[in-house]
Amino acid sequence: MSGAKVIVIGGGLNGLAAAGLLAKAGREVHVYEARDALGGLAAGVPFADGYTAPGLLHDTAMVRPWVADALGLAQHGLQREASPAAVTIPTERGAITLRGAEVSGDVGPGDADGVRRYTALVDAVRPVLARIMDQAPLDPRASLLSLLKTGLAVRRLGAATMLELMQVAPMCVADWTRSLGLSEPLAAALSLPAVEGSFTGPWSAHTATTALVRAALSGPAVVGGAPALVKAVVAAAKAHGAHLHTGARVTRILSDGARVSGVELASGEKVTADAVLSTLDPRSTFLCLSGPTDLPLGLVEDAKRYRMRGTTVKVHLALTGPLEDAAGNRITALRATPSLDDVERAFDAAKYRAAAEAPALDVVVREDMATAPGHAVASIVAHAASYDLAGGWTDDARQRFGRAALDVLSRHCPTVRDRVAHMEVLAPPDIAERYGVTGGHVLHGEHAPDQLLFLRPSVHCGAHRTPIAGLYVGGGATHPGGGLTLGPGGLAARAILSK
């Protein structure tokens, strides 16, 4: 099938990564991106004159090395930081600094030991998780041999780790972090990545798994952040010969119910292809881009059921100076939430069509993304608010949420308010509209056990193939899931190439 034509819908990281790998394998690849910029949720967000936020998602630590290597991203400028970023975690009296497995600052008596135990489990399970994430998803219907292999890998962890894993996995992250003896601010900070993006709070079961997976798969961040990652992936895709089309919205996947034949663009143009890979979420792919009789029922029904209730509000601050704490120390990354209960309360709001009064904040500060010297950009992932806000997401509602986020931030960074030159608040519907993600769900769907592995996004297309010949899926709504990992794109390309 060398030379076969593949269309990739969506020029986000996964689409680009898949395009690069397919082009490298000799396919004629065309990427159609509806927006004018490539990179999707990772693309830089210019939000004020002279200020660009580092991607709607800004955590670049989870890039899967195998995809980066296969694309040759290093040759295209991708560099990773030498060490994990220092994260500031405000406490009542000061702050804890978390850098990898090390904690310093205003630590509680159990923190050092707790983080050590936390890291020990994370390190122990990393090989197994990496194995699961870098392969086609585990499927109980698969051959017994492949299951046994994974089962054996789990057993090789040893009885103690295996039992601990089995016990921790179904837990809520609050119980897990508290059982480690961590001080409240540290426990809350470690729990935040587990609930970000999803319709969950730290008291929701299984969030320990999310925390564990995210921690285990995180390596050093990309130098230059998400925009640098996009740049490298674009360069690699182009170098391998992929054709990237921006401002080209696909409006319909053409199929006869059995085989895909191409796509139709907003311009009315019909483009034929041997294969189509959609990196959009399942609602967009299976409900919006497909006609009501194009797909088998199971896929349609699963797409309807698939849960993508976005809870993330993105706040961008244009700062006239650095972000500093009361003592004047510069902050590059910060997780602002005093306690697990505060994170949970923030989620409570989202349950009742409201927005958190004191959102939990995951802040990244970049001085290189403001053109004026000395200025900075704060990129804030704020948890949580309802997509379907009672009364609607009016400008007033957005402003109110922004002020609430600033209130939380200024508790630790008292000068921040005076330095805000401009603030942009992107509520879930804004994210949905701007990025074409249903529900404004930044992970392309909740990372719940019934929406992971071979069930993501549906049992009928969990391994990146759909029942329609030639139609593939490969965005964050497929294994191994949302976030800036390149994993889904990489695995989708592999699925196409193995055909």
The C-alpha torsion from 62 through 65 and 70 to 74, rounded to 10°, is: 90
Cβ closest to other proteins, residue 112 vs residue 469? 469
Q: Does residue 179 bind other proteins (CB under 8 A)?
A: yes
| Maximum Cα–Cα distance across the chain | 65
C-alpha torsion 340→445→279→216, nearest 10: 40
First-to-final CA distance of the chain: 9
| Closest separation in Å from C-beta 346 to other proteins | 12
For residue 365, the minimal CB distance to other proteins (Å) is 32
Q: Please choose, out of 34-42, 118-126, 155-163, 407-415, the segment that lies near other proteins by the rule CB under 8 A.
A: 155-163
Q: Between residues 106 and 184, which has the closer beta carbon with respect to other proteins?
A: 184
Q: How far does Cα 464 stand from its chain's mean position?
A: 18
Nearer to other proteins among residue 14 and residue 451 (C-beta):
451
Q: Taking Cα atoms as reference points, which of 280, 253, 277 lies closest to residue 262?
A: 253
- How many residues comprise the chain? 499
Closest CB 305 distance from other proteins, rounded Å: 6
Nearer to other proteins, 200 or 478 (CB): 200
Query: Please, what is the minimum distance in Å from the beta carbon of residue 179 to other proteins?
Result: 5
Q: How far is the CB of 103 from other proteins (least distance, A)?
A: 21
If the CB atoms of residues 130 and 459 are measured against other proteins, the closer one turns out to be 459
Phi then psi dihedrals of residue 146, to 5 deg = -65, -35
In angstroms, rounded to a whole number, what is the distance separating the alpha carbons of residues 31 and 22? 11
- Distance between CA 364 and CA 332 in Å, rounded? 6
H or E element: which one contains 66?
Answer: helix 65-71
Q: How far apart are CA 389 and CA 398, in angstroms?
A: 11
Contact mark string toward other proteins, 412..431, x via CB under 8 A: --------------------
Sign of CA dihedral 57, 86, 187, 417: negative
Residue 239: exposure state from Cβ atoms within 10 A (0-12, 13-18, ≥19): middle
Q: What residues from 158 to 177 belong to the interface with other proteins (CB under 8 A)?
A: 159-160, 162-164, 166-171, 175
Nearest Cα to Cα of residue 114 among 26, 63, 180: 180
- The C-alpha atoms of residue 148 and residue 231 are separated, in whole angstroms, by 40
CB of 102 to other proteins, least distance (A): 24
Q: By C-beta, is 162 or 239 nearer to other proteins?
A: 162
- Closer residue to other proteins, CB minimum distance, 418 or 450: 450
Angstrom distance (rounded) from CA 129 to CA 133: 6
Q: How many residues bind other proteins (CB under 8 A)?
A: 49
Establish if 354 lies at the interface with other proteins (CB under 8 A): no
Among 287, 336, 495, 496, contact with other proteins (rule: CB under 8 A): 287
Question: Binding string to other proteins for residues 299 to 318, with x set by CB under 8 A, is what?
Answer: -xx--xx-x-----------
- Identify whether 384 is preceded by a cis peptide bond (ω within 30 of 0): yes
Looking at 119-127, 236-244, 285-293, 373-381, which segment touches other proteins (CB under 8 A)?
285-293
Residue 297 engages other proteins in binding (rule: CB under 8 A): yes
Q: In the set 257, 374, 392, 414, which binds other proteins (CB under 8 A)?
A: 257
Q: Of the candidates 292, 328, 373, 391, which one interacts with other proteins according to CB under 8 A?
A: 292
Instruction: Give the angle subtended at the CA of 130 by the CAs of 128 and 131, to the nearest 5°.
Output: 65
Distance of CA 232 to the CA centre of its chain: 18
Binding map of other proteins across residues 198-217, x = CB under 8 A, - = no contact: --x--xxxx-----------
DSSP 79: -
Please give the residue ranges that form the binding site for other proteins (CB under 8 A): 140-141, 147, 155, 159-160, 162-164, 166-171, 175, 179, 200, 203-206, 256-258, 287, 292-294, 296-298, 300-301, 304-305, 307, 341, 344-345, 348, 351-352, 448-450, 455, 459, 467
